[in-house]
Amino acid sequence: MKTIFFKILIVVGLVVNIMYCKAQTLPLNTWVENTPNNAHLKDLDNELVPYIGTYKANYKGNEITLFITKEEDKLIKYSDKQFYKDVLLIKYIVKNSSGIIIQDTQNINHASYFKITSMGTMPPLEKVAFSYSGTNCGVGWGQIDLKKLNATQISWDYYPNSMILDEATCPSGTDTKVYLPHTKGLIFTKQ
C-alpha cells in the first residue's frame, strides 16, 4: 500500500513540476506587470533572429558599424522582481573620415554605460525597441528603434534624452560626446 502511495505521489509531483516549469516560459513581449518572478520570456517566434549580424552606415563623415547579437535568458532585475529574457545586444565602432576609431564598445563591460539592449519587439511594425544607457556619465541615454526593411537593411531611429551634468555627477574632462547617429531613418546595410 505504501509503495503505491509513494508511486502516485512521485507521479503527481512530476506532473506538477512539469506544469510549473511550462507556466514559467512566456512569450517575449509579455508585460513586466504580468511577468511572474523568475519567469523566462522567450523569443518563441524568432522575432529577434533577423536582426542578428554586422551592419554598417555612414553619417556626417563617420562610419558606424553595429554588432548585433542575441543573448538568451539575460537576467532582468527590478526592485520588486527579477526574470530572464531573450534580448538583442548592440556593440559598435565609430570611425571618422580618416578611418580612425573614435569610439569602440566591443570590449566594454556593458554593466554600466554604452549598453544598448532590446526591450521588446513591435511585430506589426517589424521593429525592435532598444534602451541605450548613454555614453560617459549617461549622456545621450534614450531609445533606439530598429526596423527591418529587407533581408540586408535596417532603419535606425535614435531618440536621446537630455540630462544636466555638473562636477558631482560627471568629472570635468570626461568625454561626453555622443558619437552614435542622432537621426531618424538612417539605413544600415548587413555585411
| Contact criterion met (CB below 8 Å) for 131 and 117 | yes
Please give the Cα distance from 54 to 67 (Å, whole number). Answer: 5
Total tally of structural domains belonging to the chain: 1
Q: Is residue 131 very low, low, confident or very high in pLDDT (cuts 50, 70, 90)?
A: very high
Range of the domain at 76: 2-190
Q: What is the CA radius of gyration of the chain?
A: 21
pTM of the predicted structure, to 2 decimals? 0.84
Give, in degrees to the nearest 5, the angle at Cα 32 between 27 and 37: 85
Nearest 10 degrees: Cα torsion 77, 138, 178, 72 = -10
Percent of the chain beyond pLDDT 70? 86
Q: What is the pLDDT of residues 12-24, one digit of tens each?
A: 444 444 444 444 9
Instruction: Quote the pLDDT of residue 20.
Output: 46
Q: What is the pLDDT of residues 45-94, one digit of tens each?
A: 999 999 999 999 999 999 999 999 999 999 999 899 999 999 999 999 99
Mean pLDDT to the nearest integer, 30-38:
92
Residue 110 sits at φ, ψ, to 5 deg, of -80, 25
106 or 163: whose pLDDT is higher?
106
